[in-house]
Amino acid sequence: MQVGGAMGRRLPSAPPVLSGYTYVRPLGTGGFADVFLFEQNMPRRSVAVKVLLQDIVDADVLRSFNAEADVMARLSSHPSILTVYNASISADGRPYLVMEFCPGSYSSRERTQPLPVATVLNIAVRIACALETAHRSKVLHRDIKPSNILTTTFGGPVLGDFGIAASLASGARDEMFAMSLPWSAPEIVDERTTGTIATEVWSFGATMYSLLAERAPFELPAGSNGSRVQLKQRIGRAKYTSIGRADVPASFESALARMMSRDPAARQGSMLECAYDLQRVERDLGLPLTALEVADEAWASAGAPVDFDNHESRGAVISNVSIPTLRPGPRRSTRRPASQTREGTLPDSSDTARTRFTPLTLSLLLSSAVIVGIGATVGVLVITGLL
């Protein structure tokens, strides 16, 4: 998904009509969805709305959409994961996500100059913690690449586009093969697995390499990169090539080379281990350590896991909580039995149709009538001048 950068070759679809939102302009196009900039009316803010293409919505696509909405809602509390505000179905039947608007990404087409090493280290630690949090929630991202690391309005990095995320619990065994060359691990390229923590470590390392080298690993520094088949062959050999920047320390290159080891077992065992390696590079350079922001196990295990098999069409949530009202309810047709009505008490709503009068009640009513009659007579005499 291209957001904040150059538009794809095809024209974007028509923006949806959404109640409470005002359309502004298109932001990007992708293979399965378009992204538009909207203005939310209440509370007022700019939001990005990701809308599935109408002609590709089937059971599998809808399942992926539901999973993406649920995954992002679960993980949005992490400061380095894109925030989702809402998910529903538009009037024309297209599922959509309302998300935090991020004006840019770390795609090479959006960068005009190389990123400083300190900046890349800061980004790397934050995104590693975001991925570690996702993994603790049993979620594999499966599409880690520079264009999916977005920049917030305050310049911070956030991980977005969980459109092909999968369940870590099942090892993504039943998921389709999905890859973004050249950031995919050799075992993904060879279709030996659809995703593991080890493949995430590889893609993460390849992405950080790209931010430093301004080219993807295993792409040739100059000239043609050859065919897609040749690129896959170079990835399969996994021969690490130096970034070629004098300001990139050897410790950083060593950490990245380990992340992109051909043998999955030789890589870091988790994204948290990657973050520790990157912090050591920061320490060696005398830089402030980027804080580790990782959800604890209690949070990760709380709540039901994301259902990656749910392909039902889900619209806006309707509350089933009854709200008390001060308005009187409908008159009841049944009366309380006479044996349950006490003499001298005010009737309840069941007795309003036929009020029972006791002797005391009749006496009070007759007395009131006499007093009112005397008052009326005196008033007439005063008016006529007889008194």
**Contact in structure between 149 and 106 (CB atoms under 8 Å):** yes
Cis previous bond, 43, omega within 30: yes
Task: Output phi, psi for 193, to 5 deg.
Answer: -155, 155
Measured CA to CA, the distance from residue 102 to residue 3 in angstroms comes to 8
**Contact in structure between 46 and 101 (CB atoms under 8 Å):** yes
Residue 278: both structure tokens together: 């990157």
3-state secondary structure of 139: strand
Q: Is the dihedral of CA 112, 114, 118, 122 positive or negative?
A: positive
* 50 labeled binding residue: yes
Counting runs of H as helices and runs of E as strands, what totals does the chain give? Answer: 9, 10
- Name every residue whose Cβ is closer than 8 Å to that of residue 27 and which is 6 or more positions away in sequence: 3, 4, 35, 36, 37, 48
Measured CA to CA, the distance from residue 260 to residue 131 in angstroms comes to 17
Question: Residue 280: left (phi > 0), alpha (psi -120 to 50), or beta?
Answer: alpha
Q: Which residue positions form the known binding site?
A: 50
Q: Which residue positions form the known binding site for ATP?
A: 50
